[in-house]
Amino acid sequence: MDQFTRVRWCFLLLVLICLPTMAASPVHHAITVDLDPESGLLKAEDVITLPEATKRVSFDLHAGLKLELVTPGAKIIKKSNRRSSVPIKRYKIKLPAKQNSLQVRYSGKIQHKLKDDSKKYSGGRISTPGIISPQGVFLSLSSYWFPVLKDSMVSFNLNATLPEGWYSISQGESSKENIWSESAPQDDIYLIAGKYHRYNYSTSEAQAQVWLREHDPELAERYLKATEKYLELYSKMLGPYPYSKFSLVENFWESGYGMPSFTLLGPSVIRFPFILHSSYPHEILHNWWGNGVFVDYSTGNWSEGLTTYLADHLIREQSGTGSSYRRDTLQNYSAYVSKNRDFPLKKFRGHHGTSSQAVGYGKTMMFLHMLRMELGDKVFLDGIRLFYKDNLFRTAGFKDLQKAMETASDKDLAAQFKQWTGRSGAPSLEVSEYDVETKDDGYKFTFTIRQTQRGNPFILHVPVHIQTEDSSQIIHQTVSMTKREARVTLSLKHHPISIIVDPLFDLFRRLDPTEIPSSLGQLFGAKRSLVILPSEAEPALQDAYMKLADSWRNRSRRIRVVWDKTIRSIPNNGMVWILGKENLLADEFKRSTTGLPLSFNGDGMDIGDKKFPLDQHSFVLTSGGENTIGWLHGSSAAAIAGLARKTPHYGKYSYLAFTGENPDNVLKGQWPVVNSALYHDLRMGVPRVQFPEHSPLSDQIKQD
Ligand SMILES: [Zn+2]
């Protein structure tokens, strides 16, 4: 399951033509279409209404469709072949007189097989530019199934004829079965069809709908309720929902598409329980961002970052774990984005793997978070609302977002937008050179914050928290940096005992390796690792440990196995597993955990405030920074076999405890970071304070 939580399923279908950045009147299509899924045949008639009268029209159509002009006197004056996601024909048409309408008829097959691009994209991606098949119909602009005029938004009426038991779905409103219309400007016309079971529910914002390929009223009910919840939340937060319905539609392959007023999710995706409150609200929110305000892709796709911030991040803020979501985001950037894979946000078009996701979703999200921290929740939300109001049904870019934020805040934000959207890379920070001087009325505390990345310094507002002897008081300070170095002096009443920079991960920056807790993912992600077996364990256990090491080996994970008595100490230049409590190197592992909330006594161990007798429990512990060491102990041969299967699914955790033969997990967690480049204890052994999380942005609605 873990792989699905890591994969961002959703992506908007990229629009392949260049959309105008200004809202002009849309080109209106009145399409009647007859679909035969068995043969893949489409027969259509389209009455095209142009925004103004003209004598010449040109458009692109799928090359497999045969075109016939119905308008009397209209002539094809030029026909040329082109290639987009499919072969297309560009037609230049001369009309008999200046007029604003053209009627055409066309027919042919669209049958592009599903292609699996799993190798190219993390988590896999199956797609087709368009298909009419017995399993279902999927047509959008990328199949050129309707005449596509360059640089124009569209509105439409769509009347589809399908076999008995088949239903079609598109954007907008349906007055009658298989009849759809949308008068607000759109960047695409979708035509999806299949044999569906349909469920409806009226909410105060819009009609909630669920379209499933099998009858499943309980599943439908869960989605209808979630639809109501999120339509209401986002309408209050951002402005009215822009469509008359929202539908969850089950696709006939595994996908995660967000279309205007509906989402097309794969059969497995729909049935994962966690999707309901992770990917699903993300898809709903895309009706504001991407499918309500359209994206001007030529200046950078802002919509994924904004949607991630107000869906995925907001949901984690509501559960009190916003800072760990941001830390994971920064960790992904630090892990996946090397210098040659980095790019500025204005170059982001869509998700093409882990590095483009870490920048396009992650960095955009963090930029928005920094803006919010700078402007405050109220002003930030006012700016977002204004951006929505001013740009609904138009294409917009970062410039429009900047304009809205500047209006709401009455501030010049040009430098921030230029730095975060126009420049690649991230700042790296360190805090050092502390000095405490006793004064008559308290203490003078001085320290230096430094940006250690290559290249020019970033303009940053760095949050610094200082703990003093007066435990009731934590001093919060924001240090504004425009240069590489800031020397800061503070007058304090009480003696400072610790200093921490950016404890809630509010800045977009490259994490220092010392800030990242050790995790099982580091061990399982390594191409090579060393496994050290316990020579003093019972033969049955030795055997079980050997099998475990074997089972973890695969093509991309090389594992070398040695006995503990052949090696004097734990090598410090790679990933290492120590197996068994009897392992001769177990004591060395224990020493490596100094500072962690972990203690050992003869027959047991304490993790935090929980006690675990070793004979009844199995455990997996990690320690280390860049080189991670794992220590795994199974209470029996059966438990070891179970650990072999289960442990790889707990990648993000630093420690695990299990009970029984199965074994069942009873504890899992990540170590706190005890020492880092951004944290300094001025007095040893000071208990680290918990910093309160920011209130979720949605709390702002209550104050409106
Ligand atoms: Zn998305």
CA distance 576 to 560: 10
Pick the most confident of 230-239, 464-473, 492-501.
Answer: 230-239
Q: Is the pLDDT of residue 179 over 90?
A: yes
- Residue ranges with strand state E in 470-553: 474-481, 485-492, 496-501, 528-533
Compute, in angstroms, the gap from residue 12 CA to the centroid of ligand 1: 6
Q: Is the pLDDT of residue 625 over 70?
A: no
Contact between residue 594 and residue 546 where contact means Cβ atoms under 8 Å apart: no
Compute, in angstroms, the gap from residue 65 CA to the centroid of ligand 1: 32
Compute, in angstroms, the gap from residue 404 CA to the centroid of ligand 1: 22
Compute, in angstroms, the gap from residue 303 CA to the centroid of ligand 1: 7
More confident residue, 126 or 510: 510
Compute, in angstroms, the gap from residue 439 CA to the centroid of ligand 1: 55
Contact between residue 449 and residue 488 where contact means Cβ atoms under 8 Å apart: yes
Band of residue 5 on the pLDDT scale cut at 50, 70, 90: very low
Compute, in angstroms, the gap from residue 310 CA to the centroid of ligand 1: 11
Task: Please report, as a single letter, which amino acid is at residue 267.
Answer: P
Q: How long, in residues, is the chain?
A: 704
CA distance 184 to 29: 12
Compute, in angstroms, the gap from residue 365 CA to the centroid of ligand 1: 12
Instruction: Tell the burial category of 68 from Cβ atoms under 10 Å away from its Cβ (0-12, 13-18, 19+).
Output: exposed
What was the pLDDT predicted at 135? 96
pLDDT per position as a tens digit, 606-622: 998 888 888 889 999 99
What was the pLDDT predicted at 152? 87
What was the pLDDT predicted at 352? 65
Instruction: Tell the burial category of 77 from Cβ atoms under 10 Å away from its Cβ (0-12, 13-18, 19+).
Output: exposed
Compute, in angstroms, the gap from residue 27 CA to the centroid of ligand 1: 27
Q: Average pLDDT over the chain, rounded to whole?
A: 90
pLDDT average, residue stretch 74-92: 94
pTM: 0.81
Contact between residue 405 and residue 387 where contact means Cβ atoms under 8 Å apart: yes
What was the pLDDT predicted at 688? 66
pLDDT average, residue stretch 341-353: 80
Compute, in angstroms, the gap from residue 214 CA to the centroid of ligand 1: 26
pLDDT average, residue stretch 554-577: 88
Contact between residue 5 and residue 277 where contact means Cβ atoms under 8 Å apart: no
Angle between helices 377-391 and 364-375 (to 10 degrees): 120
Compute, in angstroms, the gap from residue 13 CA to the centroid of ligand 1: 10
Compute, in angstroms, the gap from residue 278 CA to the centroid of ligand 1: 11
Compute, in angstroms, the gap from residue 335 CA to the centroid of ligand 1: 22
Among 628, 620, 627, CA closest to 648: 620
DSSP string for 202-238: E-SSSEEEEEESS--HHHHHHHHHHHHHHHHHHHHHH
What was the pLDDT predicted at 227? 97
Whole-number percent of the chain with pLDDT over 70: 93
Compute, in angstroms, the gap from residue 687 CA to the centroid of ligand 1: 40
Compute, in angstroms, the gap from residue 275 CA to the centroid of ligand 1: 13
Pick the most confident of 468-477, 514-523, 532-541.
Answer: 532-541
What was the pLDDT predicted at 524? 82
What was the pLDDT predicted at 17? 43
Pick the most confident of 267-276, 400-409, 494-503.
Answer: 400-409
pLDDT per position as a tens digit, 682-703: 876 666 677 889 999 999 988 7
CA distance 392 to 548: 56
CA distance 65 to 81: 13
What was the pLDDT predicted at 596? 85
Q: Is the pLDDT of residue 426 over 70?
A: yes
Q: Name 40's Cβ contacts closer than 8 Å, sequence gap at least 6.
A: 109, 110, 111, 131, 132, 133
Q: Is the pLDDT of residue 138 over 60?
A: yes
Alpha-carbon distance values, 432 to 187, 592, 678, 683 (Å): 52, 25, 8, 15
Q: At CA 104, angle to CA 102 and CA 107, rounded to 5? A: 165
Q: Is the pLDDT of residue 636 over 90?
A: yes
Compute, in angstroms, the gap from residue 140 CA to the centroid of ligand 1: 18
Compute, in angstroms, the gap from residue 574 CA to the centroid of ligand 1: 37
Compute, in angstroms, the gap from residue 290 CA to the centroid of ligand 1: 9
Compute, in angstroms, the gap from residue 25 CA to the centroid of ligand 1: 27
What was the pLDDT predicted at 519? 85
Q: At CA 273, angle to CA 335 and CA 200, rounded to 5? A: 125
pLDDT per position as a tens digit, 359-418: 888 999 999 999 999 999 999 999 999 999 999 999 999 999 999 999 999 999 999 999
Compute, in angstroms, the gap from residue 260 CA to the centroid of ligand 1: 12
What was the pLDDT predicted at 18? 41
What was the pLDDT predicted at 313? 96
More confident residue, 502 or 354: 502
CA distance 304 to 11: 8
What was the pLDDT predicted at 600? 87
Compute, in angstroms, the gap from residue 212 CA to the centroid of ligand 1: 22
Compute, in angstroms, the gap from residue 62 CA to the centroid of ligand 1: 28
Compute, in angstroms, the gap from residue 229 CA to the centroid of ligand 1: 19
pLDDT average, residue stretch 554-564: 87
pLDDT average, residue stretch 587-614: 86
Q: Is the pLDDT of residue 118 over 80?
A: no
Among 682, 675, 680, CA closest to 469: 682
Q: Is the pLDDT of residue 272 over 80?
A: yes
DSSP string for 573-621: SSEEEEE-TT-TTHHHHHHHTTTSSEEEETTEEEETTEEEETTTEEEEE
Compute, in angstroms, the gap from residue 270 CA to the centroid of ligand 1: 16
Alpha-carbon distance values, 419 to 71, 339, 509, 581 (Å): 53, 17, 13, 52
Compute, in angstroms, the gap from residue 450 CA to the centroid of ligand 1: 35
Compute, in angstroms, the gap from residue 257 CA to the centroid of ligand 1: 8
Compute, in angstroms, the gap from residue 155 CA to the centroid of ligand 1: 23
Compute, in angstroms, the gap from residue 282 CA to the centroid of ligand 1: 6
* Poorest-pLDDT segment among 5-14, 232-241, 366-375, 522-531: 5-14
Compute, in angstroms, the gap from residue 280 CA to the centroid of ligand 1: 10
Compute, in angstroms, the gap from residue 189 CA to the centroid of ligand 1: 19
Which residues lie at CB < 5 A from ion ligand 1?
10, 304, 307
pLDDT average, residue stretch 84-100: 95
